[in-house]
Structure 1
Amino acid sequence: MESQAENLAAVLHIKDIIRIEKRPIPEPGENEVQIRMSCVGICGSDVHYVQYGYTGRSVVKKPMVLGHEGAGIITKLGPGVKNLKIGDRVAIEPNSPCRKCNYCKLGRYNLCTDVSYCGAPPHDGSLSYYYKHPADFCFKLPDNVSMEEGALIQPLSVGVQACFKAEVTLGSVVLITGAGPIGLVTLVAAKAMGASKVIITDIIAHRLQVAKTFGADFTLQVSQNDIVEQQVEKIHSMLNEAPDISIDCCGLEETVKLCLQATRSGGKLVVVGLAGREMTLELGKGIFREVDVRGVFRFCNVYPASLSLIASQKVDLKSLITHNFHLKDTEKAIQTAISKEGNPIKIMLHCN
């Protein structure tokens, strides 16, 4: 990759204001590496930061470089780095936990209270020509894995984490609500882990068509005005049984209610996405049937498994990418995501 003498970055100042700015080229510290970024995917949280200035409890209070789904090439090593060398192509797990708290010591670093998460306020993201990151959270890409696929490991890891948390196994019958990027990678992970039947719901017909190409056994187009009990009946009828596991990838009160009621007695409900607002749920409709409700926050210890899934070439995640832009056109890319012009699923930004 040709080196650059400048470091351009896509910086969100306040909501709706994105500027392409020159930033200093970051020098790696101890156990860090400098990365010449290649590909950075746009996530729903990036779009939410631009539209509203916050996502959940994370609020943009100062200018911040966007992006956390990234891959690039190592250009410089900091002191102490042993696991990588200059020229290595890597996927970036966007975590930097403290490594000292009880959560980190227990291996649940995604719950670290002092974590620096790439592209989440107040921490700069990786949507720039150059970025630095802890070396142990960079994963070398095999030759048969492209940079685009390297960037897709981040969203795939959310789906893998959800399926691990749900304990998907051979023969599992799974309901997934939401056929956006996270719902689709959760579908891929569930099928890879042995799910025998997967049904996925969405309000957009085009996304359900895409879901079929990724292995969905059944799809159900829903409406915000649908009655939950009627949706449950349709799901049970299509599957010829109640799902063992439901995974909500929308974070909406309506979809969580659907999952809670649709899951079989003794089954599991995993909530992946949260819209950041309060919900009113009749927990008795699940608790009294011993439906096990679990939450997912980002991911933890699943990057190697996600990378192996892509490297196996059993799935073609690159087909998730519907739009490509250069870093300089970040604002246009975000507006495409907001307007949904051209039915975007995953938008990829290129930094070279």
Structure 2
Amino acid sequence: MSDTNLSAVLFKAKDLQLVERPICEPGKGEVQLCMQKVGICGSDVHYWQEGRIGDRFVVQAPMLLGHECSATVTKVGDGVTHPKSVTVWLSSPMACAGNAMHARLAATTCARMFSSWPRPLTVVPSPDTTCMERTSLPDNVSFEEGALIEPLSVGLHACRRARLSMGHRVLVCGAGPIGLCAMLSAKAFGAAAVCVTDIDSGRLEFAKKLGASHTLLIEKGQTEEQVAAKVAETLGAAPDRTIECSGAQFSVNLGVYATKPGGVFVIVGHGPSKVEFPVVSLVAKEIAILGSFRYINTWQTAIDMISCGKINVAPLVTHRFTLEDTLAAFETARSGVGVKVMIDCAKHEKK
């Protein structure tokens, strides 16, 4: 175990620093975690570059970036009665240890929801004292795959919100990490075909290799109606379910035009604070539009899907960095050259 606690701390927009922090001992009802892998999410990049995500989530004090993580338990405090069940823990701000509505409320209002400890050593509450979900990883699930449980959970939750089931034709807008996780989840749910759209041909090629049934490049000058027609032609019919993961106004409109009458359109992507809908088409087609915000009760399902081989998230990791190279890792994530950038905290440990 490391005898230092080098941490990536965001002090304000564009001010991300590596600093040493004290190593805390676990108190009553707490455990000490040693971080292994931490993935960089688009939200982390937004916080770093802009100090906020919209008007709701604003950096008001130094915060630790990174919420896609896997860790080992190194110490337990008094009152932690099941240490064997937490050999490896994963942080999940939308778990349901108790009442579902309470867990959802706690997750959506907690100011620390995005600061899940990307540092070698940290102390967190035990499962007995918090609604946060921490789940053991089976031996055949790696630490990298464990860190990808969080973004995969976003995709799984969106598919559940869409009431996606076997035989559905599905449109996924956006081939970033969340869009790819939504595609993988849709296939695992039994979708007959999944079409992924994006403005980047490289990302679409990656989506195809990852298992997308179809991909469609959105070219400059095309209208939403034109792309919607191409989606229907590609899938053989209008999609039963659409999952929007880009946050782009174009894709929001596309979802309304593309989704079949009576279908379900789930919006995951965070774009502008205000967007417009083609209301006449929305009403005439009786499309159900639902928001999907992170996840709830997905952790064990995601782990099981990876463990049994139903979903393969390993190829999502395209770039790897040590903790000391965190700034370079964030620059890589911001550039968009890869898909998922992973920071290895374990390599920082002194032997």
Is TM > 0.5 for Structure 1 vs Structure 2? yes
CA distance in 1, matches of 2:23, 2:184: 37
CA distance in 1, matches of 2:95, 2:24: 16
Task: Say whether 1:271 aligns with 2:267.
Answer: yes
Give the structure 1 partner of residue 135 of structure 2: 139
Asked if the contact 2:94/2:296 (under 8 Å) is kept, the reply is no
Aligned mate of 1:156, from 152, 171, 178: 152
Q: Secondary structure at the match of 1:49?
A: helix
CA distance in 2, matches of 1:171, 1:216: 15
Q: Secondary structure at the match of 2:219?
A: coil
CA distance in 1, matches of 2:72, 2:2: 13
Aligned mate of 2:236, from 212, 233, 240: 240
Q: TM-score, normalised by structure 2?
A: 0.91
CA distance in 1, matches of 2:224, 2:136: 45
Give the structure 1 partner of residue 309 of structure 2: 313
CA deviation map 1:12-45 (0-9, x unaligned)? 1111111111111233344332110000000000
CA distance in 2, matches of 1:325, 1:225: 38
Give the structure 2 partner of residue 10 of structure 1: 8
Change over 3 Å in CA distance of 1:128–1:113 after alignment to 2: closer
Aligned mate of 1:348, from 333, 339, 342: 342
Equivalent AA in structure 1 for residue 247 of structure 2: G
CA distance in 1, matches of 2:256, 2:264: 9
Change over 3 Å in CA distance of 1:87–1:301 after alignment to 2: closer
Shift of 1:223: 3.2
Equivalent AA in structure 1 for residue 5 of structure 2: N
CA distance in 1, matches of 2:94, 2:112: 6
Give the structure 2 partner of residue 73 of structure 1: 72
Aligned mate of 1:49, from 47, 50, 54: 47
Asked if the contact 2:259/2:287 (under 8 Å) is kept, the reply is yes
CA distance in 1, matches of 2:35, 2:118: 8
CA distance in 2, matches of 1:88, 1:154: 18
CA deviation map 1:32-64 (0-9, x unaligned)? 321100000000000111111111321112211
CA deviation map 1:270-326 (0-9, x unaligned)? 001112421111222112221111111110011110111111123331111000001
CA deviation map 1:128-179 (0-9, x unaligned)? 0112233322110000000000000000000000001101111011000000
Shift of 1:262: 0.5
Identify unmatched segments of 5+ residues in structure 1. none
Q: Give percent identity, aligned residues only.
A: 39
CA distance in 2, matches of 1:224, 1:30: 58
Aligned mate of 1:116, from 110, 121, 132: 110
Equivalent AA in structure 2 for residue 77 of structure 1: V
Equivalent AA in structure 2 for residue 271 of structure 1: I
Q: TM-score, normalised by structure 1?
A: 0.91
Asked if the contact 2:175/2:196 (under 8 Å) is kept, the reply is yes
Asked if the contact 2:86/2:134 (under 8 Å) is kept, the reply is no
Asked if the contact 1:92/1:151 (under 8 Å) is kept, the reply is no
Change over 3 Å in CA distance of 1:43–1:261 after alignment to 2: same
Change over 3 Å in CA distance of 1:320–1:23 after alignment to 2: same
Shift of 1:112: 3.1
Give the structure 2 partner of residue 20 of structure 1: 18
Asked if the contact 1:95/1:118 (under 8 Å) is kept, the reply is no
CA distance in 2, matches of 1:114, 1:216: 31
CA deviation map 1:188-227 (0-9, x unaligned)? 1000010001101001111111111222111001135421
Aligned mate of 1:129, from 102, 107, 120: 120
CA distance in 2, matches of 1:216, 1:113: 31
- Answer with 52-61 or 190-199: which moved more: 52-61
Asked if the contact 2:95/2:297 (under 8 Å) is kept, the reply is no
Q: Secondary structure at the match of 1:170?
A: coil
CA distance in 2, matches of 1:62, 1:75: 28
Identify unmatched segments of 5+ residues in structure 2. 128-132, 347-351
CA distance in 1, matches of 2:235, 2:108: 43
